[in-house]
Structures are given as structure tokens and as C-alpha cells.
């Protein structure tokens, strides 16, 4: 059976885009593959080393969300990166064989360094993609479900794995392939990509009132449609994009017909959308809240997940040390 691994940073407040772009797909894969889902808390530290209070609550939130969406702890290993020290050891060893120029040329690196408000001038942040390579290679993952923004990290992971195999003349690491999960990208309330940074999201823990408010009061629509009696253009409307993603086919057809004739107003159209989203998200929200009330259960699940992941990580590290001729006299 092939192995799948992915990682999510514990940065709090997962949104609808994370749900349909990633988490739902991750959970589906547990029926076909050996799946490892890692909460990348050390990766969060690369940019948030100065505000660590939120990290543990955010780990709980990611875990609660995966479980609420249907992750089965019997099928998938769910754990936090810092539970498995072997990731740190492999990160260290891989950093010895990774040319500085490879990490310096990561396109997101220089861009983030210049544009982010966080202080990213650390050694750790430069090593971010090497740590990610260690996460993937330590499970010899074949498939890595990620968004498009991670493609370069995956490419670098393959290069580092191949360089290891070449230098030490043994095929220890298979080539991991990205599995693109953002089949349908969810726009934010303002029409840009849904993102925490833009503060334009519908969050999985939003209450029905908040969802109704966001849909009817904050969501962008066709700006050329000033009055209720003006004909609208669904093609230029964020609310219509949402209907296409979340409403039934008949509703979409009806709005596509009525909106350009001014047969339906923006408020009613968005209210119908809010009802649909609430129907979909409210059961999930209550599940998430229930899980968050029971953090000792979450910890037990993470501990079990880490135990099964660690068994693999430990065995890969033994092979890595042997291949690299790093002593293991302990």
C-alpha cells in the first residue's frame, strides 16, 4: 500500500477554503492509502517564535477539525511534528547535504522575507523547506497532497532525496509526488483567494449568525448592479461562484436565469447561499466544539498517532544512519 503524508501548520482558525481545498480530500485518502497527517508545529515556530501562546490551542483545533471531518484514528496517524524527534535529526542530517543555493532560490523565501511582517531573518526560516523534506522523506511518502503553493517545496524534497541516494549509493528515499488538492478554489468574501491573511474567510467555527452576516453583508457581488431593479451578471459575482460550489444544480440554474432579469435580488440570493452553508457547516462546527471540550481525548489520539508514526520514523533513521555511516552506538 502506498504512503501518503501531509502537514498543516497550526495557525488557528481553519476556513471553508481549507475544508474543501484540503482537509476533506485528505480524509478521503485514508481509505486507499497508509496516511500520515502531521500538525507542523515546528514549522509554525519558524515565523512565530515570538508568540508561542497560540500554538498548543491551534494544535487542538487542527486535530478537532480533522476528526470532525471524518479522520478515523484507526486508519490515519494524526500527530504533531514535535512529538517525533526523529524529524529533527533527519532535518539536521539533510541540512548537511543541501547546498545553500538550493534553499536560497526557493521562490517563496525571498518574497516572504521582504513582504512579511514577521521577522523571518532566522537560520530556522531558511531551513523551512529542509524540515519539510525531512517530514516527507522520513515516512518514504509516495504521495503528498498539497496546494499549488507547495509545489516548489516538493521539487526541492525530491532533489534532496535524490542527492542523498546518490551520495551514499543507496535508494533509501523514493521520489514523492504532489497530489494537487485544490480542485476548486474557494474565493474569499472579497473575491480574492480565501485566506487568513486577507481576513476574508468563512471560518469553520463561525456560528450561523456570523455566516448569515458574512454572506448577506460582507460578500462581494456584481458591483455594476446598483439597484434591485438592475439586471445582474452572475459571471461577475462572488456570491454566484459560491452558489456553484455549494448549492444544488437547480438553484444555480435558477439564479443564472433570474439574476440577469432582475428576477432575484442580491440579498435573497445571498440569504439562500447562507442557508446552504449553514446546513453544511453547522454539524461540523458542533463536532469541532465537542472535540475541543475534551482535550485529554485529543491528546490520547495524538499520542497514538505519534506512536504509530514514530515506529516508521525510527526505522527510517536507523537506515539513514547506517547508510550515512553515522554511528548508532546507543
Note whether 7 binds ligand TRP by CB under 6 A: yes
Choice from 41, 61, 86, 135 touching ligand TRP (CB under 6 A)? 135
Piece in contact with ligand TRP (CB under 6 A), picked from 2-10, 28-36, 219-227, 229-237 = 2-10
Element (H, E) at 55: helix 55-69
Distance of closest approach, residue 231 Cβ to ligand TRP, in angstroms: 41
Note whether 43 binds ligand TRP by CB under 6 A: yes
DSSP 8-class letter at 283? H
> What are residue 203's phi and psi, to 5 degrees?
-90, 150
By beta carbon distance, the residue nearest ligand TRP is 7
Choice from 9, 76, 98, 241 touching ligand TRP (CB under 6 A)? 9
Torsion of CA 301, 206, 58, 17, to 10 degrees: 90
Q: Are strands 3-8 and 34-39 parallel, antiparallel or unpaired?
A: parallel
DSSP 8-class letter at 321? H
User: 63, 302 in Cβ contact below 8 A?
Assistant: yes
Element (H, E) at 190: none
Which residue's CB is nearer to ligand TRP, number 144 or number 320?
A: 144
Pattern 142-171, ligand TRP, x by CB under 6 A:
--x-x---x---------------------
Piece in contact with ligand TRP (CB under 6 A), picked from 130-138, 187-195, 302-310, 317-325 = 130-138
Which residue's CB is nearer to ligand TRP, number 129 or number 232?
A: 129
Distance of closest approach, residue 5 Cβ to ligand TRP, in angstroms: 6
Note whether 181 binds ligand TRP by CB under 6 A: no
Distance of closest approach, residue 107 Cβ to ligand TRP, in angstroms: 14
Note whether 132 binds ligand TRP by CB under 6 A: yes
Q: What is the DSSP string of 144-183?
A: EEE-GGGHHHHHHHHHHHHHHHHHTTS--S---EEEE--S
Question: How close are the terminal C-alpha atoms of the chain, in Å?
Answer: 32
- Specify which residues 144 forms β-bridges with: 178
Secondary structure of residue 265 in the 3-state scheme: coil
Note whether 302 binds ligand TRP by CB under 6 A: no
Positions touching ligand TRP (CB under 6 A) are 5-7, 9, 40, 43, 132, 135-136, 144, 146, 150
Amino acid at each position: 500500500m502506498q504512503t501518503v503524508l501531509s502537514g498543516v501548520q497550526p495557525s488557528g482558525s481553519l476556513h471553508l477554503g481549507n475544508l474543501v481545498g484540503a482537509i476533506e480530500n485528505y480524509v478521503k485518502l485514508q481509505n486507499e492509502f497508509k496516511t500520515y497527517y502531521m500538525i507542523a508545529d515546528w514549522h509554525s515556530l519558524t515565523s512565530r517564535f515570538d508568540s508561542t501562546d497560540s500554538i498548543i490551542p491551534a494544535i487542538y483545533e487542527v486535530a478537532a477539525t480533522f476528526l470532525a471531518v471524518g479522520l478515523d484514528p484507526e486508519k490515519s496517524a494524526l500527530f504533531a511534528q514535535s512529538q517525533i524527534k526523529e524529524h529533527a535529526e533527519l532535518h539536521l542530517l539533510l541540512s548537511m547535504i543541501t547546498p545553500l543555493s538550493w534553499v536560497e532560490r526557493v521562490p517563496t523565501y525571498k518574497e516572504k522575507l521582504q513582504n512579511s511582517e514577521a521577522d523571518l531573518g532566522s537560520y530556522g526560516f531558511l531551513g523551512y523547506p529542509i524540515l519539510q523534506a525531512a517530514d516527507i522523506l522520513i515516512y518514504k511518502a509516495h504521495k503528498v497532497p498539497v496546494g499549488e503553493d507547495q509545489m516548489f517545496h516538493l521539487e526541492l524534497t525530491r532533489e534532496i532525496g535524490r542527492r542523498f541516494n546518490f551520495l551514499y549509493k543507496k535508494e533509501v528515499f523514493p521520489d514523492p509526488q504532489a497530489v494537487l488538492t485544490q480542485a476548486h478554489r474557494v474565493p474569499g468574501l472579497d473575491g480574492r483567494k480565501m485566506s487568513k491573511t486577507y481576513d476574508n474567510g468563512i471560518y469553520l467555527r463561525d456560528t450561523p449568525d456570523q455566516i448569515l452576516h458574512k454572506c448577506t453583508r460582507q460578500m462581494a457581488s456584481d458591483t455594476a448592479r446598483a439597484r434591485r431593479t438592475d439586471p445582474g451578471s452572475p459571471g461577475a459575482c462572488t456570491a454566484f461562484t459560491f452558489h456553484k460550489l455549494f448549492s444544488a444544480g437547480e438553484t444555480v440554474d435558477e439564479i443564472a436565469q433570474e439574476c440577469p432579469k432582475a428576477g432575484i435580488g442580491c440579498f435573497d440570493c445571498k440569504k439562500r447561499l447562507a442557508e446552504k452553508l449553514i446546513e453544511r457547516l453547522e454539524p461540523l462546527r458542533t463536532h469541532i466544539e465537542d472535540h475541543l471540550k475534551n482535550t485529554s481525548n485529543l491528546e490520547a489520539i495524538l499520542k497514538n498517532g505519534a506512536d504509530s508514526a514514530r515506529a516508521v520514523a525510527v526505522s527510517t533513521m536507523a537506515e539513514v544512519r547506517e547508510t550515512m555511516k553515522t554511528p548508532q552506538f546507543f
